[in-house]
Amino acid sequence: MNGKVICNTGPLIALSMIDRIDILRHLFEFVAIPEAVHKEILEGGPINAGLLNYRKAEWIKVVALSKPVDPLLKTSLDSGEAAVIGLARESNENLILVDERKARKIARTVYGLHVIGSARVLVEAKRRGLLDNVGVALQAMQDGGYWIGDSIVDAALKQAGEV
């Protein structure tokens, strides 16, 4: 995983919860978020748990959309998810980091984007020696209140060779 990624709020919060937002810096040359995601992080209730780690990550670039988001996205997803897909389309970047199932499905099937999630980031981090144990990291995210489905956890543990 090198190159550029456009990231949604959830993965930033999940990685901040375990104090590992830095993994993104090591896996990608460029990490961008749309203004809507930046706003969600700064304003959000439970999101504030990761605010300190997010503020330290000045290497995350906040990028403004130059065109309005597709109306389909606005009616189907929250503003951050819609903006992530919109920014990917506008900037011709194919890789987005989103955890929410509906947003992932729309990004793949409607817009042909390549989508990864927090669990996949952890698996890649372990493969590159940036993380010792994916299971411990996923459990810490869940303990912090971040929802990750059992099937996703199982698949990540299998890919990481921890099953």
Mean pLDDT of 117-141: 97
Q: How many domains, in total, are found in the chain?
A: 1
Structure pTM? 0.92
pLDDT digits (tens, 9 = 90+) for 73-92: 889 999 999 999 999 999 98
What is the average pLDDT across 104-111?
95
Q: Which residues of 36-68 are buried (b: 16+ CB within 10 A; e: fewer)?
A: bbbbbbeeeeebebbeebbeebeebeebebeee
Q: Give me the pLDDT at residue 142, please.
A: 94
Res. 163: pLDDT tops 70 = yes
The CATH number covering residue 120 comes to: 3.40.50.1010
* Structural domain span for residue 45: 4-159
Does residue 98 surpass a pLDDT of 70? yes
Give pLDDT, residue 100. Answer: 95
